[in-house]
Amino acid sequence: MNWINLNVTFLDSEEFISATPVQRATWLCLLRYCAGQENSGRIEGAKLWKDRMWLQVVRVRLREITVGECRLWEWQGDDLVVNFYPTEKEAEVRKKRTQGSLGGRGRTLKKQAVAAGMGDESGNHMVSGTETTCLDSASREREEEGKEKRKGKGMEMEDTPKPPKGDRVSIPADEADEEAPTLPRRWRLIPRSERKNHRVHRNNVVMQRIGTWFGRRPESLWNVAEGLALTQLDPPRGDVDLLERYYLAPLDRTADYRRRDLLSLLSHWHAELDRARIWEAEGG
């Protein structure tokens, strides 16, 4: 989220009033980090973070989190839960983002005609006689050009030797990756709880790369939940390259906080990117 939605009545609550100014500022920084990650106010594995990690990622010091009692946040195991985080607003933003990506991407012919001034809102075309003559002439010219192109293409195909029967014409991996879908056609009909039990049609190049970080073979198909998570992320190539270096690097076991599960990585992609940037800044 690009903003934080807070109810002003909370600023009059006992939890906020009883906190010190430093604790209030720390809580605001925690809110900012969680809003950017959209993690529902839970920072997983935060108890294992060092002071430098807190300073680089959340912009607070470790002692500001651990020293003193504060009811603006609490620890649940190794996770830090930020209280009064606007989880409902986060869910609303996620829902609107999903709906916006599904609809309203194209114009109908009716809207195109109205925008071009060649039709009214009822869809009726308004073309004068002169315009009709011009359109007919242009249509005939395009038809003649199309015939000549098809004729020339047919002659080229006759001159081109055909491959022997049984041989397959290979398609470049990049072209096949762009054209062939990965998710099932009706994946929206699969219940959320069942998506881990269904497989994608194929693994694209990015899926194959990420799968190798967890010891998967390229032909081992992802489940629908994993494929959908990656599709929604649509990570840039630079982010994938950075995480690949981070996940394939040999790390000391005591300092290895990398995810052990593919879906967990996709669910906390941005947090892992922050860790990878810090790791690379410290010399990799």
The pLDDT of residue 166 is 46
Residue 132 scores a pLDDT above 60: no
CA distances from 99 to 1, 79, 93, 122 (A): 16, 31, 10, 28
| pTM recorded for the entire structure | 0.40
Q: Tokens standing for 100? A: 């916006």
Where do the domains of the chain lie? 8-90, 177-281
Q: What is the percent of the chain where pLDDT is above 70?
A: 73
Phi, psi of 171 (to 5 degrees): -110, 130
Cα 38 → chain centroid: 12
Quick one: pLDDT at residue 5?
Answer: 79
Q: What is the pLDDT of residues 70-109, one digit of tens each?
A: 889 999 999 999 998 888 888 888 888 887 766 555 555 5
- In degrees and rounded to multiples of 5, residue 74 shows phi and psi of -150, 160
- Indicate the pLDDT class of residue 9, thresholds 50, 70 and 90: confident
Q: What pLDDT does residue 229 have?
A: 93
Quick one: pLDDT band at residue 177, thresholds 50, 70, 90? very low
C-beta of residue 182 within 8 angstroms of C-beta of residue 227: yes
Q: Is the pLDDT of residue 135 over 60?
A: no
CA angle 81, 87, 89 (to 5 degrees): 150
pLDDT score, position 123: 46
Check pLDDT > 50 for residue 188: yes
**Residue pointed to by tokens 């799968």:** 211
